[in-house]
């Protein structure tokens, strides 16, 4: 289905007002992406381009650079969530749960939400059997966390024309690939609708550090600028803000403090909720009380 078949254009100014509980202005959700990179495939991202070009295989340096995130960086990052008592959303490759079980356990013990992120870190358009991949990912999460994932983020946000249809058919309730709004919206599928929750390519360490090549401090600066504008916008109707991190990027020793400082700044506002994706989903889908 074309995107325009899934939803009609809608201007944020023309919708009924959304209200968060307790008069909160914003719901902030933090997504930690934990992936397994297959050393037999081309690496999803690289920090070091090959000498004299080309795509050498295997690509050990870039594999190892990502692996650092799961061996060391994640554990550094975890201290920040504990310190600020924030429950994150773990967007996890199905295969990574078994491979990095200690990480999955740390997330489960803290009550983080698990969402599907592909069975492996591979473009959904190159996955041989997409329904099977989506199903296997749900099974891996259910097997470990004891319940089905309600949310899905495509690897690299990739989708086929069919992905939202398949997600609903496999029991998922929300999707993160559609960064087209500051509020949740409904997408039509060939069965019942799925909710799109605002994820981000803007406050996302992959886009900022690996593609745009910003200094680490830009993560903090941009997160604050993003937050302050959304906070102002939310005077009229509630907004959702996402922050996205990967252990191999923001978990590097020289970057972590900029994530910590961003979280601390936002945490200092009493009228801001730190929610998981499913809390945002349940709030959005709940019958809305009349606006006074």
Partner 1 sequence: MIPRERGAYSAIVDRPPLCLPDRARLVVWTIVNLEFWDISRPMARQVLPAPTGQVLLPDVPNWAWHEYGMRVGVWRFFDLFARLAIRPTLSINARVCEEYERVALAARDAGWEFMGHAWEQMPIHRVEDQAAMIAKSLDTLERFAGTRPLGWLGPGLTETEDTPDLLAAAGVKYIGDWVYDDEPTEIRTAHGPLITLPYTVELNDIPMMLVQHHESAYFTQRCIDSFERLYSEGADRAKIMAIAIHPYISGQPHRIKYLEAVYDHVNRYAGVLHWNGAEILDWYLAARGNR
Binding footprint of partner 1 on the chain (CB under 8 A): 39-40, 47-54, 56-58, 60-61, 63-65, 67-68, 70-72, 74-76, 99-100, 102-103, 213, 215-216, 252-257
> Between vectors from CA 92 to CA 182 and to CA 103, what angle results, nearest 5°?
120
The span from the CA of 242 to the CA of 204, in Å, is: 9
| Nearest approach, Cβ of residue 40 and partner 1 (Å) | 6
Residues contacting residue 85 through CB under 8 Å, at least 6 positions apart = none
| Nearest approach, Cβ of residue 174 and partner 1 (Å) | 30
| Nearest approach, Cβ of residue 60 and partner 1 (Å) | 4
> What burial letters (b/e) apply to 21-38, b meaning 16+ CB within 10 Å?
eeebbbbbbbbbbbbbbe
| Nearest approach, Cβ of residue 134 and partner 1 (Å) | 25
Nearer to partner 1, 85 or 254 (CB): 254
Determine the distance from the C-alpha atom of residue 207 to the mean position of all C-alpha atoms in its chain, rounded to a whole number.
13
Nearer to partner 1, 18 or 206 (CB): 206
What radius of gyration do the chain's Cα atoms show? 19
* DSSP for 162-183, written as a single string: THHHHHHHTT--EE------SS
Nearer to partner 1, 70 or 276 (CB): 70
| Nearest approach, Cβ of residue 110 and partner 1 (Å) | 14
Nearer to partner 1, 3 or 58 (CB): 58
Nearer to partner 1, 55 or 201 (CB): 55
């Amino acid at each position: 289905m074309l995107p325009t078949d899934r939803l009609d254009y809608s201007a944020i100014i023309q919708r009924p007002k959304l209200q968060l509980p307790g008069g909160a202005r914003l719901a902030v959700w933090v997504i930690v992406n934990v992936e397994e990179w297959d050393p037999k495939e081309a690496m999803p991202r690289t920090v070091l381009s090959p000498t004299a070009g080309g795509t050498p295989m295997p690509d050990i340096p870039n594999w190892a650079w990502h692996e650092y995130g799961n061996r060391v960086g994640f554990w550094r990052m975890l201290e920040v969530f504990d310190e600020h008592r924030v429950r994150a959303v773990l967007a996890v490759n199905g295969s990574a749960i078994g491979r990095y079980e200690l990480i999955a356990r740390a997330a489960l013990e803290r009550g983080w939400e698990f969402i599907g992120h592909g069975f492996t870190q591979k473009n959904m358009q190159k996955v041989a059997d997409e329904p099977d991949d989506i199903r296997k990912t749900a099974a891996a999460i259910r097997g470990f966390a004891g319940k089905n994932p309600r949310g899905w983020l495509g690897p690299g946000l990739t989708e086929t024309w069919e992905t939202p249809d398949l997600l609903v058919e496999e029991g998922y309730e929300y999707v993160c690939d559609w960064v087209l709004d500051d509020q949740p919206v409904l997408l039509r599928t060939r069965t019942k609708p799925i909710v799109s929750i605002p994820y981000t390519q803007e406050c996302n360490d992959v886009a900022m550090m690996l593609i745009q090549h910003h200094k680490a401090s830009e993560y903090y600066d941009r997160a604050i600028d993003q937050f302050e504008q959304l906070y102002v916008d939310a005077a009229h109707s509630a907004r959702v803000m996402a922050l996205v991190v990967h252990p191999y990027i923001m978990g590097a020793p020289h970057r972590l403090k900029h994530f910590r400082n961003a979280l601390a700044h936002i945490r200092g506002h009493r009228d801001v909720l730190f929610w998981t994706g499913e809390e945002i989903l349940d709030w959005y889908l709940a019958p809305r009380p009349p606006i006074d």
